[in-house]
Amino acid sequence: MSQQPHAPGALPGRQSPAPADSVSGWEEPRPTALLVLADGTVIEGQGIGAVGEASGEVCFNTSMTGYQEILTDPSYAGQIVTFTFPHIGNVGANEEDVETVDVEKTSGVCGTVLGASITEPANWRATRPLDAWLKVRGIIGITGVDTRALTALIRDRGMPNAVIAHDPSGRFDLEALKARAAGLPSMEGLDLVPMVTRDANGQWTETVWKLGEGYGIGEAGRFHVVAIDFGIKRNILRLLTDAGCRVTVVPATATADQILALEPDGIFLSNGPGDPAATGEYAVPVIRELLDRKVPTFGICLGHQLMSLAIGAKTMKMHQGHHGANHPVRDNTTGKVEIVSMNHGFAVDPATLPRNAAQTHVSLFDGTNCGIELTDRPAFSVQYHPEASPGPRDSHYLFGRFVKLMEQRNAKGA
């Protein structure tokens, strides 16, 4: 069943099964899931995954692969992900392709919107169908939606708040769902990091996946990196380990004194969800002090935004955000173009960058800022996800650049 988004206040289709077609005898199935937008638009479909209701901001993702990693990316906390690629679920799900550091922890994704129905898995690594995997993780989904129309709506009007509901009986309190959707707060001003950060310090030793071997265990690294967890992804930690780093992961609320007491050779600022200005209320003073101590620092996504705030720049809410694995970015330091993965709804305003921040990367889609490097301190950051490997390894050099900064600092005896 496929429905166009309908006018505000109108419920497409019927709340009870449609009459049988007089010729074929086919009966339209009762909708078992709804996506109710804040303006009253109602979209019908068939429910998958968990049963219940969830609310969040609706975005669209243009990736053709990696749906399991997307659905477990902590940066999607507070959001409902619409996939523009229709065949989601065709390779099933497994226990390895999970991006939350705690594989059993809910990722923060509120729900997912799909075009086609989920098929049986067709991949040797699959351990269960996507539907069953969604149930286990408590993620509500809706299929049979005209995702092209929904994507066009987001493109034209921006990312709306919505409630996604799944009830196998097809019985919904539509007015209550509309009221709930209309009353949801804007993503602006929301600090969602507490939903996804860790509670205590921990060590990371896992390396990247290899065919026939799976994930490995890293040897004691040359450099000690303290990674601040604003919603960090597992593959970032794996690539740090592969680059020769011994990694300690600390909560987002760790103080500068607590971090410096660990005697780090480098600081990593992770990705994460929500409004960077809200998280920055407590994170920016810590980052500013670490930068002033001239500890080599590398930031990704939210970490990039927080570093920018720490040096006096400003961030802004984007109209539709950047979510996908096909984004071209130019590295201004080399002139090369990388194909990268992105997942952000806020961006750094390049006009507010101070003189000691050089813009190193820029989006070739819309010219937005995608990276900076400080000229007076050993620190840099990017707005995209170099660990996600869509190119596939176009951006892995950034981890080597981070290691080089630590080598240079140690050589100076700092």
Predicted confidence (pLDDT) per residue in 15-68, tens digit: 333 444 445 555 668 999 999 999 999 999 999 999 999 999 999 999 999 999
**Residue 35 one-letter amino acid:** L
Active-site hit among 301, 304, 323, 373: 301
Active-site hit among 44, 57, 338, 387: 387
Q: How far apart are CA 245 and CA 222, in angstroms?
A: 6
pLDDT, residue 296, reads 98
| CB contact at 8 A, 314 and 307 | no
The phi, psi pair for 157, rounded to 5°, reads -110, -10
User: Tokens for 310?
Assistant: 């720490």
pLDDT, residue 68, reads 95
Active-site hit among 166, 323, 327, 385: 385
Q: How confident is the model at residue 413 (pLDDT cuts 50, 70, 90)?
A: confident
Does the annotation count 27 as an active-site position?
Answer: no
- Which conformational region is residue 370 in: left (phi greater than 0), alpha (psi within -120 to 50 degrees), or beta? alpha
Does the annotation count 245 as an active-site position?
Answer: no
| CB contact at 8 A, 33 and 145 | no
Q: How confident is the model at residue 74 (pLDDT cuts 50, 70, 90)?
A: very high
* Average pLDDT over all residues of the chain: 92
Does the annotation count 301 as an active-site position?
Answer: yes
Q: How far apart are CA 348 and CA 310, in angstroms?
A: 12
In the chain the domains, ranked by start, together with CATH numbers, are 33-182 (3.50.30.20), 193-411 (3.40.50.880)
pLDDT, residue 206, reads 94
**Residue 374 one-letter amino acid:** L
What H or E segment, with its residue span, contains residue 11? none
| CB contact at 8 A, 245 and 403 | yes
User: Tokens for 248?
Assistant: 């300690």
**pLDDT tens digits along 357-384:** 999 999 999 999 999 999 999 999 999 9
